[in-house]
Structure 1
Amino acid sequence: MEPSGMEALARTGLVPDAPCELAGQAALVTGASRGIGRAIALALAAGGARVMVGYLRQREKAEAVVEQICRAGGEAEAIQVDVRDAAACEAAVAATVRRFGQIDVLVNNAGTALEKLLVDTSLDEWDDLVAVHLTGMYACTRAALPHMMARRYGRVITISSIWGITGAAGEVAYSAVKAGQNGFTRALAQEVGPFGITVNAVAPGAIDTEMNQFLQGDDLADWLARVPVRRLGTPEEVASLVRYLAGPQAGFITGQVISPNGGVVV
């Protein structure tokens, strides 16, 4: 049974009557129909933000996120956006501004995984990873920045990966694009800081989502043996960090790659 709106927001780990530090703000979250993106959309709404819920194919799941937010008293809308298409990214930002009058928070979350040796990775697979993780981030951010600069306030948060920090055998292409997101974050933070805009990346370790369902049995046990806290992370734990970075209280945090990974990398 699908949880109620209030139950879904409560699962972010934030009490429903917590101070709404994001009240009056508007956010666009790409890839928000499931997993970490869904948890982020709910967490931002719990903080008082109005949320544009981006999705690629899973319209029903995105609309379910919108329904949960609205049932809890929030405001949200679903929008289809293929981040591989720069024009679609620009349209999603424009739709956010048109619906809410502004865009204060951009969460570049849309992503795909690829677990292959480099010698088995085709050029098409490489190009697709670059298009989703780098071109999509570039296009969405480039479209949002003029609106943020005009208001001299903004939060750009990109969901990277621990492999963008350490690299991973069997995931060279994925590690490369995630490292690219981290470099983009550090450089852009220096460009737009004078406009009151912060730019950060969240680089999770293994999180309990559909993307990591391949971790089963002995593979899961082997991984957990490497994690000091001995468990996978939850989407809600990542979302709570994003909510903090999205708020005005995080205005002195920028250019950072923060990795909630259970202590695998310290």
Structure 2
Amino acid sequence: MTKKVQLGFESDCVTIPVADILPVRALSKSIKSSRKYTQITASIREIGLVEPPVVARNGDVGGSWLLLDGHVRIEVLKDLGREHVECLVSTDDEAFTYNKRVSRIAAIQEHRMILKAIERGVPEDKIAAALDLNPRSIKRKVKLLDGICPEAVAILKDKACTLAVFTTLRKMIPLRQIEAAELMVNANNYSVAYISAILAGTPQAQLVEANKPKRVNGLTPQAVARMEKELARLQ
């Protein structure tokens, strides 16, 4: 019998009046003078709200919502005079439990948000300015998933991987990309050092450039060969 999987969020975003959203914590008095607040304000003004706030239905007061994540974003929207906001609805109304799971936005999520802004006609230089990034970084983030197979993308979609991780994955054939992604998830390790070790242990036949000698910074060819044998044994 197939078990029903309980989702952490409702399947669709909802558009909610900002005035109906109740914060669960107070912002510090100095937040509006911080660099973070200025950056978020510039981002929302230039490219819109790319990461929806997370709310839960308030069972005690009909028509109101508890704000679980996105307090600064909501405050910025108020300052900008925005009356409605699209939100993710959490099925877990325990703010403490939820906030323990919240981390910095994953690289793949950021990539998709940037693409969405570009599709809306926002120039890349404006996105770079809003996110306080070098324009070249935006171009790299746009091309983040070029050469990455859909299965590996699905595995890493909410993981804290750096751009360098995807650069290394791109050197592997799709089947090996999937294996590498699963290894990172199982080890809960998304560091450049770990993906480099996985690359070192990848058989030559599973590289995109199978005829080109494999090079891993800091490792001799002999060490690479030993790692390849060891990783094959572990798998």
Q: Pick the TM interval, shorter chain.
A: under 0.3
- The two structures have a TM-score, normalised by structure 1, of 0.24
User: Which of the two has higher C-alpha Rg?
Assistant: 2
Per chain length, whose mean CA-contact separation is higher, i.e. which structure has more relative contact order (CA < 8 Å, sep 6+)?
1
- The two structures have a TM-score, normalised by structure 2, of 0.26
